[in-house]
Chain A
Amino acid sequence: MNASIGKPRPLFDFHGGIHPPQNKELSNQRPIRQAPLPEQLILPLNMHLGAPAKAIVQVGDTVLKGEKIAEAQGAVSLPVHAPTSGKIVAIGPRPIQHPSGLDAPCIVLEPDGKDLWCELHPLPDWQTCCPPSALVARLREAGIAGMGGAGFPAAIKLSPKPEHKIDQLIINAVECEPYITADDVLMRERAEQIIGGIEILRHILKPKEAIVGIEDNKPEAIEAMRRAATGTGIEIAVVPTKYPSGGEKQLIYMLTGKEVPSGGIPAQIGVVCHNTGTTLAIYRAIVYGEPLVSRITTLTGKALAEAGNFEVLIGTPVASLLKAAGADMDKIGRLVMGGPMMGFTLHSTAIPVVKTSNCILAATEQELPAPATEQPCIRCGSCADVCPADLLPQQLYWYAKNQDLERAQQYNLMDCIECGACAYVCPSHIPLVQYYRFAKGEVRNALQEQQKADRARVRFEARQQRLADEQAEKEARRKARLQGSKASAAPGVDMAALKAASLQASAAYKAAVKALKAAEVDGRDQLAALTSEVEQLKAKADAAKAAVRDAGNAPAAPVVDVAALKAASLAASAEYKAAVKAMKAAEAAGEDVSALRSAADALKAKADAAKAAVRDAGPAIQTAAPSSASAAVPEKSDDTAQRAQKMKALKTAYNVSHKQFKEASAALERAERDGSDNLDELRKQVERFKLKSDKAKEALNLLVDQAKADIRASGSDLKSLKIEAAQTEAAARQKARELDAAKINGDDQRINVLTRELEALKREAEVAAGALKAAIDEQGLADS
């Protein structure tokens, strides 16, 4: 026993678990061998959890071993490096280990046999040379993914949020799956390097303790690790053999008694967990500067004559490894990547080894017989007895089968770790895990559908609103014109009556605005109806005002003083803008803005009225002008100007409402985090603002589209098109960054939302780029 260990750590036993036959002696009797260099290496761009890498080489390029051939895209992503020197012969879809047997983009490398390294930058003095963050960045650049499980980028786990203080660093060397011995032999042969890797992790994370968890069925590995850990303070904890003690959540509980919260990550309870192989890769990446280009993979199963562990270049096709391990291809009944409990079957031997491939199991028909026919569940409860997450699998099965997703979630479906213990013990041979995977997928789909439907509803409502608004506007204008013509036809109009009508209309409008505001404050439902009412009343009031004005102007001056009207309009809109500015300032300062808002609204009404007057006056002059043909031109340019002005107004409106939406969303998030009571109210508020901003945006988009069409028609203004294209692209990039940030935080909902937004932005960017290109083509310019 090691003196630095002290008394053995108390272990906590998790519920359930099973003891399947180990079959480890098949592969752990021989030292690690070097796998032969295959004819081709197939390197999937997505060997890790997160966004796929992007190829930075071309077909025909020659690369050196360790050279980066694909770079990370976004925060949750990793680069890919050439596992040996050679030539890139293809970039395209190849079969990979995919549950549905789909192909995925890969880089195909033909080795030149020289195995020449590129220039490496080792950091033997890592303790002193640079800050931990630089080491983390180094690990990211080295493409290090978790090598035991899902392939989560190691660097992200090493950059916990500041509020997550790390108490324990746990190295998962349990290897509880039957057959697999990769970590076992790795610890026997390279314990010093693993301990070195743990030292680097300690340097980066500064945990209070560093614990290596090993199952008691690996006495030689335990001995080797104890020897290597002497004097380092790293604790070697031996856990009893029980599947799935190597599950991250189960191991954390066994060693610390702490449970990772449902839906959470270990860092929340002060734990970071890394796999043995990952730790070794980290050591080599820092001390030798080597990126992750090879790993230890167990080749086992009774169809192999020479089962054992191999040092395999990433990208080596399984066929080549099977040959090296002396496979009798006729005897292979099932080919599994991973272990027999959680591995995936391979549908082709052309599939390459990736960063997470810890085992290739070539089993005979007798070894892993075909699944027996499913019998009815008798609710014997064997599954519940072995479930390491302490679920009720028989109930989950029932609900999953009936697609009662709500109930299934009530019974904590999403906490299932898919370890397969329930299906292992089921006397009725029910493929339980398959049911849970299906139900989980359905739950995720339903969530996405819900989000999609919500967005569609908002969009639809906005469109309805917009159409109603347009209709009302048209109606108002028609009425105004009618009244105007009436007024000019009969100069002796009763001014007093008109004025009274106008006052009444504006009073009604103001009352409606007040009602709307009150409703907004109360968060009532019928806001849309009220809004449209307000809009109608406003149109009425405007029309009445216009009538008064027309009536007043008509007898005195048949030709309206357009210049004066324009000046008045400009002044009014300037006033309005100032008011909006003041309101924003007040909002930023957190003051009560309702008074300011109503003032702004009043000013806006004024400005609108003035604008309307200018608009109304314009055609009047033109019709008065002798030549109607010449009048068409100024009208058009006037139109464009008007549109520009409208666009500007809409943009302001959109910006304001979007900002409000963002703020409301943030408030909602805060409230959700704090578990406040007024969530519904806040949610309503968010939706309201979103609706507003969407409405503005849509109107704006319409105008922009019109403008674009005009520009295209006229074939002019490349500059604005260019700006447009650049802006949309920048927006898309910004959104991508946000998305990456969200991915780090692992907020699924936000990721979904952002992904969709990003898609929309990308489409927009495409449209803009297309418009630009079309314009360029049209003008015959070879500009880029």
Chain B
Amino acid sequence: MSLITVTSPHTTGQRNHTGAFMRQVIYATIPGVAVLTWLFGWGTLFNLIIAVPAALIAEAAVLKARGRDVRFALSDWSAVLTAVLLAIAIPPTSPWWLIVIGIVAAIVVAKQLYGGLGMNPFNPAMVGYVVLLISFPLEMTRWIAPHEAPSWFDSFRMVLASANVDAITGATPLDSLRTWAGNAEQLASQPILHGSFAGAGWEWVNLAFLLGGIYLLARKIISWHIPVGMLAGMALIALPFWLADDVRYASPLFHLFSGAAMFGAFFIATDPVSAATSRYGRLIYGALIGVLVWVIRSNGGYPDAVAFAVLLMNMAAPTIDYYTQPRSYGHRKAKRGASR
């Protein structure tokens, strides 16, 4: 009998492991990836096949350079998750080098240079996305028209950057809205804007990610505060403008089921490392992301805005946490802000 001396608690929960958390999030993207593949072809899967190994290699290289235990650090699955999120976010027509550049920006710059998992102030996948969006605007906005999916061979050639992609690309609902906002005639004649209940095709993408998000909520992998805050913020600000001028502004339902709304709400904004942590803080954080997304979509220079909104709010997260401490037991009031 050898007695060890450790401090309490002596027991921990069953299922809780950082790697398990990350894997759950990855599993929850399956419905969304399936719908993307159904609508736009094999491109998303090719993105994933390139992004995941690239991320693991990039992470391992930096970990080795930093003198860390590579195997142990890779076992947290965080690099894989970042790769999956970035691969889903970029268009299915992307060439391989675009993906690799995005991964390097996400893993090496946004994450490891700040100290690795848990230390990054910005969401790595969104940093990678924004780097690509600003550097390669053409490649990053080439989406295929829904249900016009190319064959797997064509997709493969796109990845190798040897296919003529422009032939099959088409505007997304958000693109069309940006182009024709204020023009009632054009808006009415764009089939892409009139899907079953929101933009054509994209309403199913968003529905699938909503499904995955509900799974995450049910498994208690994420808390409801950020997604609910973000979707509510987006809908609440869209509503009065749409009521006042429905030619210029899209409906809340359209916003909720267009672009990366659901993906952003459940998979991007909920990245715990770069988000606010207190309950009220998360609500505020989510709501402000929602508002920013609407503002940029309606008035900004880019059709979608989840990445910008999330990065902007990443900057605000520490301040939000600062002012949203919960009222602890035995205290009459919650503490607000710093000690004087």
Interface residues of A (CB under 8 A from B): 14-15, 18, 20, 99, 101, 178, 249, 253, 259-264, 329-330, 332-336, 338, 340-348, 361, 363, 368, 370-373, 375-382, 384-385, 388-392, 394-395, 406-407, 410-412, 415, 418, 420, 423-429, 431, 433-434, 437
CA of A431 to CA of B12, assembled, Å: 10
Contacts of B339 in A (CB 8 A): 406-407, 410
Is B223 touching A385 in the complex (CB atoms < 8 A)? yes
Is B4 touching A370 in the complex (CB atoms < 8 A)? yes
Is A427 touching B329 in the complex (CB atoms < 8 A)? no
Is B118 touching A376 in the complex (CB atoms < 8 A)? yes
Beyond A332-B1, A385-B223, A423-B12, is A412–B18 a contact (Cβ under 8 Å)? no
Contacts of B282 in A (CB 8 A): 381
CA of A101 to CA of B273, assembled, Å: 38
Is A375 touching B328 in the complex (CB atoms < 8 A)? no
**Interface band, chain B:** 35 or more
Contacts of A390 in B (CB 8 A): 326-329
Contacts of A410 in B (CB 8 A): 335, 338-339
Is B329 touching A14 in the complex (CB atoms < 8 A)? yes
Beyond A410-B335, A412-B328, is A381–B277 a contact (Cβ under 8 Å)? yes
Beyond A395-B321, A406-B339, A427-B16, is A334–B330 a contact (Cβ under 8 Å)? no
Is B223 touching A412 in the complex (CB atoms < 8 A)? no
Is A99 touching B7 in the complex (CB atoms < 8 A)? yes
Is A379 touching B272 in the complex (CB atoms < 8 A)? yes
Contacts of A264 in B (CB 8 A): 330
Chain B residue, CB-CB nearest to A335: B3
Which has the most chain A C-beta neighbours within 10 Å: B11, B18, B275?
B11
Interface string of B1-21 (1 = CB under 8 A from A): 101111111111100111011
Contacts of B326 in A (CB 8 A): 15, 384, 390-392
Chain A residue, CB-CB nearest to B330: A262
Which has the most chain B C-beta neighbours within 10 Å: A261, A334, A388, A411?
A334
Beyond A334-B10, A390-B328, A423-B9, is A329–B1 a contact (Cβ under 8 Å)? yes
CA of A380 to CA of B223, assembled, Å: 9
- Tell me whether chain B's interface is mostly helix, strand or loop, or mixed: loop
Whether B30 sits at the interface, judged by CB under 8 Å, is no
5 A-B pairs in the complex with CB atoms less than 8 angstroms apart: A340-B9, A372-B12, A381-B223, A381-B272, A406-B339
Contacts of B6 in A (CB 8 A): 334, 345, 371, 431
- Tell me whether chain A's interface is mostly helix, strand or loop, or mixed: loop
Is B10 touching A377 in the complex (CB atoms < 8 A)? no
Contacts of A341 in B (CB 8 A): 8-11
Q: 8 Å CB contacts to A: which residues of B304-322?
A: 321
Is B277 touching A394 in the complex (CB atoms < 8 A)? yes
Contacts of B11 in A (CB 8 A): 20, 178, 340-341, 368, 424
Interface residues of B (CB under 8 A from A): 1, 3-13, 16-18, 20-21, 72, 76, 78, 116-119, 223, 272-273, 275, 277-279, 282, 321, 325-332, 335, 338-339
Is B3 touching A378 in the complex (CB atoms < 8 A)? no
CA of A330 to CA of B116, assembled, Å: 42
Task: Give the residue of A261, A392, A429, A431 whose beta carbon is less than 8 angstroms from that of B277.
Answer: A392
Nearest first, the 9 closest Cβ-Cβ pairs linking A and B are A420-B9, A376-B118, A262-B330, A427-B16, A340-B11, A389-B329, A340-B10, A380-B272, A412-B328
Taking A368-B10, A378-B117, A429-B17 as known contacts, 4 extra A-B pairs with beta carbons closer than 8 A to each other, sorted by chain A number, are A389-B329, A392-B277, A410-B335, A433-B9
CA of A401 to CA of B113, assembled, Å: 21
CB distance from A22 to the nearest CB of B (A): 12
Task: Give the residue of B7, B118, B328, B332 whose beta carbon is less than 8 angstroms from that of A378.
Answer: B118
Task: Give the residue of B7, B10, B78, B325 whose beta carbon is less than 8 angstroms from that of A392.
Answer: B325
Contacts of A434 in B (CB 8 A): 7
CA of A178 to CA of B12, assembled, Å: 12
Contacts of A407 in B (CB 8 A): 339
Beyond A253-B329, A415-B330, A420-B8, is A382–B16 a contact (Cβ under 8 Å)? yes
Contacts of B272 in A (CB 8 A): 378-381
CA of A20 to CA of B282, assembled, Å: 27
Beyond A379-B272, A379-B277, A390-B329, is A332–B13 a contact (Cβ under 8 Å)? no
Is B329 touching A259 in the complex (CB atoms < 8 A)? yes
Task: Give the residue of A334, A372, A373 whose beta carbon is less than 8 angstroms from that of B4.
Answer: A334
Is A424 touching B13 in the complex (CB atoms < 8 A)? yes
CB distance from B194 to the nearest CB of A (A): 40
CB distance from B67 to the nearest CB of A (A): 16
Is A260 touching B13 in the complex (CB atoms < 8 A)? no
CA of A332 to CA of B7, assembled, Å: 17
CB distance from A383 to the nearest CB of B (A): 10
CA of A424 to CA of B4, assembled, Å: 19
Chain A residue, CB-CB nearest to B72: A373
CB distance from A376 to the nearest CB of B (A): 4
Which has the most chain A C-beta neighbours within 10 Å: B17, B273, B328, B339?
B328
